[in-house]
Chain A
């Protein structure tokens, strides 16, 4: 759709990790608003907070390897009028400090932005301990929490700028590995909105995070094979854009979800809950099914877990051939 200003999928796609886009967004947000502050648990470079920390040293807090402290310090900063972004690896935050996030951020309703980088199996060689797969489920169940999973670097930048202006607690999920850039600076982003990145009538693919690029690549190739899938990109998993999702599923009547994380409680869970109550439809969930990650290259792992455009194509063909 032209008003979405997406990258032409016919060209070779440039790549960038979503965390880089976050780093740019944080710096810009800091330049716009002096109340934007940042804290990190000894992963400033990895979570791309370094340019903010360099430009605004007096607004940056280094808490050391202490993720419980990280988010509760964030709660205190927010209580005195700041807009904190607090970052670590997703495996540790929100992996280790869930109760602190629940009590001092969500129940206390302080606008802390919890940033979890290195989410998903594409972390690669570090292995299962560092490949956070349960974070969407953990954050999605918390009242007051907004959950955002951008699809590429530019969207991560826009999401960060949007979160800096939003007064709700949030979780921003980021990836370590470079992934295809499919949006541009003109692509719209609004918290709580899903976007139809590709229109079709045969089936709806609902995707989040870097899996949206894979869905778009698959959709392009499927089109050449005579299959028209609709790709609904869901960068905000909570609050979920029910209208956009239901409108698409009412049209196509078949759904595939895809995410780089546990399908239980993840995007798949959110979509299944929505459809079960409003418009039950046949559904297939691509993602991680009740297992942990392991060491390997990102490409090997995405292949192993069936999270590539190729796997999406196979799933679509299988699904639409079922009558």
Chain B
């Protein structure tokens, strides 16, 4: 059955997100390649989704009433693997196989490789369209209580396919779709506003017919309450423009676009893990 592990306090969720960041550094270092920047920035959102928001059962990933998470910017999959493992979909020991030959943890997510993945992604711009198809199918199937979360990168919004889907979802009022744009202001070649200015994303999405909400994507409490409010909006789909810090938690990676797609070496990983252990201790010492 759907098991909502919603017993964690915000402090425990923060601790969980930090543990997930530790796993991300370890797995990307072991892989020798991968995308740490966006993955670290998304750890709070993924913690909120898997440990609080989503109706899903790690022991029964194909459960027919589950909520769906589509990672559209598939290169950030280390955060998804790490969160899924910590949530109990599979053993955290497997995380170290990321990107290795015959591993279930393919470099970009592959639905068939790992139970619990809902799509195959990497080439950008497709997640929201797939969410539209799923939401339409759910409506035809008379399933009214399932939500579909779509995580997209901000650089990903350069893709025209996203905006094709952005027009379709309001047309059919697919209000069980909750889009989450990882607004970290970087993409591979540099700052998003230099590469291809996105401008006022809230206005853009609103003009397309969405309920658009700016939030702090590194504040778990803010993410959870924004999603609660999104569920109350029935006349249009919601997109959260989630401001995040790329490389969050690792001093030398934060806000540096060079860490979009480069793995830390052993020395860098050690510094990164020291940073995260320090943060973990700080969270531990906080009052509830």
Instruction: List chain A positions with a Cβ less than 8 A from chain B.
Output: 37, 58-59, 61, 63-64, 66, 68-69, 72-82, 84, 99-100, 103-104, 107-109
Q: Establish whether residues B122 and A72, one from each chain, have CB atoms under 8 Å apart when the complex forms.
A: no
Stretch at the interface among B80-88, B130-138, B275-283: B130-138
Which B residues lie within 8 Å of A77 (CB)? 133-134, 136-137
B119 on the A face (CB < 8 A): yes
Partner of A68, one of B111, B131, B134, B164: B164
Q: How far is the CA of A243 from the CA of B164 in the complex (A)?
A: 44
Which A residues lie within 8 Å of B120 (CB)? 103-104, 107-108
Q: How far is the CA of A114 from the CA of B129 in the complex (A)?
A: 16
Query: In chain B between 13 and 72, which residues have their CB closer than 8 angstroms to a CB of chain A?
Result: none
Given A73-B132, A82-B137, A109-B112: A103 touches B167 (CB 8 Å cut-off): no
Q: How far is the CA of A79 from the CA of B131 in the complex (A)?
A: 10
Given A100-B126, A108-B119: A73 touches B110 (CB 8 Å cut-off): no
B244 on the A face (CB < 8 A): no
Given A68-B164, A72-B165, A109-B112: A80 touches B133 (CB 8 Å cut-off): yes
Partner of B125, one of A63, A68, A75: A68
Q: Establish whether residues B167 and A76, one from each chain, have CB atoms under 8 Å apart when the complex forms.
A: no
14 additional contacts (CB under 8 A) given A59-B140, A75-B119, A78-B133? A61-B136, A69-B161, A72-B130, A73-B129, A73-B133, A73-B168, A76-B133, A76-B137, A77-B137, A80-B138, A100-B129, A104-B129, A108-B112, A108-B120
Q: How far is the CA of A79 from the CA of B148 in the complex (A)?
A: 12
Distance in Å from the Cβ of B253 to the closest Cβ of chain A?
Answer: 29
Q: Interface readout for B156-196 with A: 1 if CB under 8 Å, 0 if not?
A: 00001100110110001000000000000000000000000
B123 on the A face (CB < 8 A): yes
Q: Establish whether residues B134 and A76, one from each chain, have CB atoms under 8 Å apart when the complex forms.
A: yes
Q: How far is the CA of A104 from the CA of B135 in the complex (A)?
A: 16
Which applies to chain A's interface (DSSP): helix, strand, loop or mixed? helix
Which A residues lie within 8 Å of B134 (CB)? 76-77, 79-80
Distance in Å from the Cβ of B284 to the closest Cβ of chain A?
Answer: 41
Number of B positions contacting A (CB below 8 A) = 30
Which B residues lie within 8 Å of A99 (CB)? 123
A-B contact pairs, 9 of them (CB 8 A): A66-B168, A69-B129, A69-B165, A72-B161, A78-B133, A79-B133, A82-B133, A103-B120, A103-B126
Which applies to chain B's interface (DSSP): helix, strand, loop or mixed? helix
Q: How far is the CA of A132 from the CA of B193 in the complex (A)?
A: 38
Which B residues lie within 8 Å of A82 (CB)? 133, 137, 140
Distance in Å from the Cβ of B114 to the closest Cβ of chain A?
Answer: 13
Q: How far is the CA of A244 from the CA of B164 in the complex (A)?
A: 44
Q: How far is the CA of A68 from the CA of B127 in the complex (A)?
A: 12
Q: How far is the CA of A167 from the CA of B104 in the complex (A)?
A: 24
Given A79-B118, A104-B119: A72 touches B129 (CB 8 Å cut-off): yes
Distance in Å from the Cβ of B87 to the closest Cβ of chain A?
Answer: 21
Q: Which of B110, B122, B138, B164 has the most CB of A within 10 A?
A: B164
Q: Establish whether residues A76 and B161, one from each chain, have CB atoms under 8 Å apart when the complex forms.
A: no
Which A residues lie within 8 Å of B133 (CB)? 72-80, 82, 84
B285 on the A face (CB < 8 A): no
Which B residues lie within 8 Å of A63 (CB)? 164, 168
Which B residues lie within 8 Å of A80 (CB)? 133-134, 137-138, 141
Q: Establish whether residues A68 and B161, one from each chain, have CB atoms under 8 Å apart when the complex forms.
A: yes
Q: Establish whether residues B121 and A76, one from each chain, have CB atoms under 8 Å apart when the complex forms.
A: no
Q: How far is the CA of A81 from the CA of B119 in the complex (A)?
A: 14
Q: How far is the CA of A79 from the CA of B132 in the complex (A)?
A: 11
Q: Establish whether residues B167 and A68, one from each chain, have CB atoms under 8 Å apart when the complex forms.
A: no
Q: Establish whether residues A73 and B130, one from each chain, have CB atoms under 8 Å apart when the complex forms.
A: yes
Q: How far is the CA of A68 from the CA of B140 in the complex (A)?
A: 22
Q: How far is the CA of A108 from the CA of B136 in the complex (A)?
A: 19
Distance in Å from the Cβ of B241 to the closest Cβ of chain A?
Answer: 22
Which B residues lie within 8 Å of A107 (CB)? 110, 120
Which A residues lie within 8 Å of B121 (CB)? 103-104
Which A residues lie within 8 Å of B161 (CB)? 68-69, 72, 100
Which B residues lie within 8 Å of A66 (CB)? 164, 167-168
Q: Establish whether residues B122 and A103, one from each chain, have CB atoms under 8 Å apart when the complex forms.
A: yes
Nearest A-chain residue to B148, judged by Cβ: A76
Nearest B-chain residue to A104, judged by Cβ: B126
Query: In chain B between 207 and 243, which residues have their CB closer than 8 angstroms to a CB of chain A?
Result: none
Nearest B-chain residue to A63, judged by Cβ: B168
Nearest A-chain residue to B167, judged by Cβ: A64
Q: Establish whether residues A73 and B123, one from each chain, have CB atoms under 8 Å apart when the complex forms.
A: no
Distance in Å from the Cβ of A91 to the closest Cβ of chain B?
Answer: 18
Closest 8 CB pairs of A and B: A76-B133, A72-B129, A80-B137, A69-B164, A76-B130, A66-B164, A108-B120, A73-B133
Which A residues lie within 8 Å of B165 (CB)? 69, 72-73
Which B residues lie within 8 Å of A78 (CB)? 133
Q: Establish whether residues B137 and A81, one from each chain, have CB atoms under 8 Å apart when the complex forms.
A: yes
Given A63-B164, A103-B121: A79 touches B140 (CB 8 Å cut-off): no
